[in-house]
Amino acid sequence: MDNILDELNDKQKEAVEYLDGPLLILAGAGSGKTRALTYKIAYLLQKDIVKPYQILAITFTNKAAREMKERILKLVKEDANDIWLGTFHAICVRILKREIEKLGYTRDFNIFDEQDKTKLIKDILKRLDLDEKQYNPGYIAYEISRAKDEMKLPEKYLSEAMGDYRKEKIAEIYKVYQSDLKKNNAIDFDDIIMLTVQIFLDNSEVLSYYQNKFKYILVDEYQDTNKIQFLLISLLSSVNKNICVVGDESQSIYGFRGADISNILNFEETFKNAKVIKLEENYRSTKNILDAANNVINNNKSKIEKKLWTQNGIGEKINYKTLQNEYEEAEYITENIDDICKKEKKTYSDFAVLFRTNAQSRVLEEVFLRESIPYRLIGGLKFYSRKEIKDLSSYLKLIHNPNDNISLKRIINEPKRGIGETALQKLESIARSKDVSIFEAIKDTENLNGLRSAGNIIQFRQMICDLIDKKDKIKVSELMLEILDKTGYKNELEMENTKESEDRLENIMEYVGVALEFEKENAENSLGEFLDAQALISDVDNIDEGQSAVTLMTMHSAKGLEFEVVFLAGMEEGLFPSKRSIDEDETVEEERRLCYVAITRAKQKLFITNASKRTIYGSTTYTIPSRFIDEIPDELFDEISQDNITLRKKKEKNFLDDEYSQVKSFLSNDEGFNINSKSSSFGISVDSFLKNINIAPTKITTNNIDLYEVGMSVKHKKFGVGKITKIEAEGDDYKLDISFENYGNKRLMAAYTPLEILK
């Protein structure tokens, strides 16, 4: 093992060899954190400190888990196979398969995806006679998801919602939703961790078993953990206390999903006697790229002090270009990709174009298609969301778990077999009155009396029963082919004989191919195992790294990846940072962390682009450059870019020589701004615009900031009613910490925040 440790730098080696108690490995971008984590596991095994099955290693993607396991196997061969290594959700599914009966479910439960979840919510809204326009299913799904991330069951959610009519209704929907899930013997994605924690809290002997089983617990990407994930690992590590987490607070970018940056910032307070080791040497990027990232992130206040450095060369300077519109921007990107490929013999897979929002991809795709440059779009219409894949998957789910009403309702008349909506509604009503599943109701022929489609329903019932009988006797891929044949699904697509039906058939056979691959890699290859594996797949897991194509993806999706050449497109105020975060310190800091992540994906070359005018979301807007560009020192840009920056700043200086009132007048007459609402169509306030280009505007708010007091109730146009909890001087202004009833704690600048004083 000594010769292997010789491959590590001093800090990595220190992290690997430290085994006594809590450890935080603070790993900057490209600093070899995966290597440190992998070698630590290998070290534990080769030194025979623990057995493989006593190690729990948690990653954030299946892709990362696969790569880590492959690396460990190269170091310690067969010793790695019994390690509990996977994502939070994969590990918890494994536990639920053993323990979920303690909550009244059976082990053949199904995992509902987002489409299943939305369909069930819509059914519940209809049942409760609630209007989808007033109670948006997507928003309700989000609320339920956030509640589960915070371990809030329906009863607790309701108790916190009392007095808020809308939230009380959502609590009612949440309660029915959970009840329906259980009747379907199904769980949703958020239940996976929540129910695992619930089992631990309700069954001390079960918790004790896993606490003693896992002697060492290792967690990757710790900065992205949410409250319930933190609770899970805290419970499991509380006996042996050997918890090693790897993360970087500068890469915490999932606050909108519930990630809690305080988990990593407060690690030393939470886990007593914790040791912190910083990995600050970057092996990925050139010095110029790294300096750009460091200068941007240094503007954040919520951070742990560290400074990335590299022994790599200085590298090329950054290219920055402002184009007239989004089409010129896309053309500029494709021209540079082609030029670099020809001159430097790079392949298309060396390039990535990163953007803040999926809406930006449309124009990029148009231009890439026109220029015949192959690309892969990550995060578009997901393969597993396509109709034909969902149909076949629903057949599999129903065969695995006949209590799954959502899957049955999707495919009972797919393909068409003469079972109409009226018949289905009657069957559903009967099933609900008898407190059984729809399939159970169908099995009683008396329930079919009076239905014109009774004969068709009986044929459907018999077909499903025959397939259920075969599910444990044949492979999953064979079961798929059997379904396609017996249901007539394949024949119908072949008879249609169109380009669309041909594409759908190809997708279906690709899905059969997925099953064949699964069977090669899994000894048991049961239907339940296959469905669990599919439920846990993410977009990033499906990236085909062998494909020679430019990668188009959001900055969030790029986390954990690296490319030779990276283009950051749409670097404009209101787009990046986004309009929702532009006036809030906390959310702007997360946007800045996202910028840091995006920059550090580049190994050799970095391009930054924006447009003077952009049409997006159906609106055309004149834009200003992102503040993050100005946070990069001019000397890190190439000469042409520096000339562009100098010219822009000169124009801004001339522009700012006018009095503030004249500036205000100019903006109010510009089509991109509406002075009455104090915002542009991107939501940029006039003050924010002026502040961004280094002018201190006259305070246009009518508030008298001297009237504010701690404990005072105020009302904000966006956040609603809240209470001031803290007032802190900031230059000639004040920062107000306000606890809002529906949006939590926010920190706002008094002079620029319109607040109505209530009492």
Whether 565 and 352 have beta carbons less than 8 Å apart is answered as yes
Determine the Cα–Cα distance for residues 196 and 178; give it in Å rounded to an integer. Answer: 15
Give the tokens for residue 164: 């808020």
Is 180 one of the annotated active-site residues of the chain?
no
Burial per residue of 573-608, b for 16 or more beta-carbon CB atoms within 10 angstroms, e otherwise: bbbbbbbebbbbeebbbbbbbbbbbbbbbbbbbbbb
Half-sphere exposure of 29 (CA within 13 A, CB side): 29
Is 601 one of the annotated active-site residues of the chain?
yes
Neighbours of 448 (CB within 10 A): 21
Among candidate residues 123, 188, 221, 584, the one labeled active-site is 221
Determine the Cα–Cα distance for residues 518 and 512; give it in Å rounded to an integer. Answer: 10
Among all chains, which residue has been given the structure tokens 């503007």?
Answer: 299
Whether 549 and 375 have beta carbons less than 8 Å apart is answered as yes
Give the tokens for residue 121: 């919510």
Query: What's the per-residue H, E or C state across 199-256?
Result: HHHHCHHHHHHHHHHCCEEEECCHHHCCHHHHHHHHHHHCCCCCEEEEECHHHCCCHH
Is 34 one of the annotated active-site residues of the chain?
yes
CA dihedral 746, 750, 751, 753 (to 10 degrees): 40
Is 220 one of the annotated active-site residues of the chain?
yes
Question: For the chain, what's the residue count?
Answer: 759
Determine the Cα–Cα distance for residues 687 and 696; give it in Å rounded to an integer. Answer: 8
678 contacts: CB under 8 Å, gap ≥ 6: 685, 686, 687, 700
Among candidate residues 123, 220, 248, 532, the one labeled active-site is 220
Dihedral of alpha carbons 518, 522, 526, 528, sign: negative
What stretches of 569-703 adopt beta strand conformation (E)?
602-611, 613-616, 619-622, 673-674, 679-680
Question: How many degrees, rounded to 5, is the angle at CA 465 between CA 484 and CA 462?
Answer: 85
DSSP bridge pairs for 552 = 353, 377
Q: What is the largest CA-CA distance in the chain?
A: 86
> Which residue, 186, 113, 188, is CA-closest to 389?
113
Whether 595 and 553 have beta carbons less than 8 Å apart is answered as no
Among candidate residues 34, 198, 459, 642, the one labeled active-site is 34
Is 272 one of the annotated active-site residues of the chain?
no
End-to-end Cα, the chain, rounded Å: 68
Among candidate residues 251, 310, 334, 623, the one labeled active-site is 251
* Three-state DSSP state, 698: coil
> Which residue, 318, 369, 266, is CA-closest to 602?
318
DSSP string of 516-532? HHHHHH-SS--HHHHHH
Determine the Cα–Cα distance for residues 573 and 11; give it in Å rounded to an integer. Answer: 39
Among candidate residues 148, 601, 614, 664, the one labeled active-site is 601
Give the tokens for residue 407: 């899957």
Determine the Cα–Cα distance for residues 197 and 209; give it in Å rounded to an integer. Answer: 14
DSSP bridge pairs for 737 = 726, 747
**Cα dist. 437→267, 420, 452, 470, 629 in Å?**
46, 18, 21, 21, 58
Among candidate residues 11, 12, 33, 572, the one labeled active-site is 33
Q: H or E segment at 568?
A: strand 563-568
93 contacts: CB under 8 Å, gap ≥ 6: 111, 192, 532, 535, 536
601 contacts: CB under 8 Å, gap ≥ 6: 352, 354, 558, 561, 562, 563, 566
Neighbours of 640 (CB within 10 A): 12
Is 33 one of the annotated active-site residues of the chain?
yes
List the catalytic residues: 33-34, 220-221, 251, 601
